[in-house]
Amino acid sequence: MTIQALFSSMFLGGTDKLLQLMEEKLVKEDCLEISWAESDLYFEQFPIGAPLETLLGRNHKSALSKSFFKAKSDFVKQPIPEMAVAQVL
């Protein structure tokens, strides 16, 4: 029997900062820098470069509904300035 496990994660910061924090064997080529909104598409297993409008047409029968998925998010505790939201998008 062979078992394969894949671990995807998200780091809120640039690749260079991540590489400084991580231990050996992580290389820049293994990283993908995308916006927070694009990360939702990535974790829903849409192809890289899929338009953000794809999120508007999602239903609950996504690719992830067929597999186990666990996530943890931090929630906004103070209003985010409009300028900061524009930078994320």
Q: Cα–Cα distances in Å, from 82 out to 6, 79, 85, 89? A: 36, 9, 5, 11
Q: How far apart (Å, rounded) are the C-alpha atoms in residues 14 and 32? A: 10
Q: In the predicted model, is pLDDT for residue 12 greater than 60?
A: yes
Is the whole-model pTM more than 0.85?
Answer: no
Residue 51 has a pLDDT of 92
Sequence-distant (6+) residues with CB within 8 A of 12 are 36
The residue among 73 and 37 whose pLDDT is bigger is 37
73 versus 85: the higher-pLDDT residue is 85
Per-residue confidence (pLDDT) for residue 21, from 0 to 100: 83
The pLDDT tens digits for 32-67 are 899 888 988 888 888 888 999 888 876 655 555 556
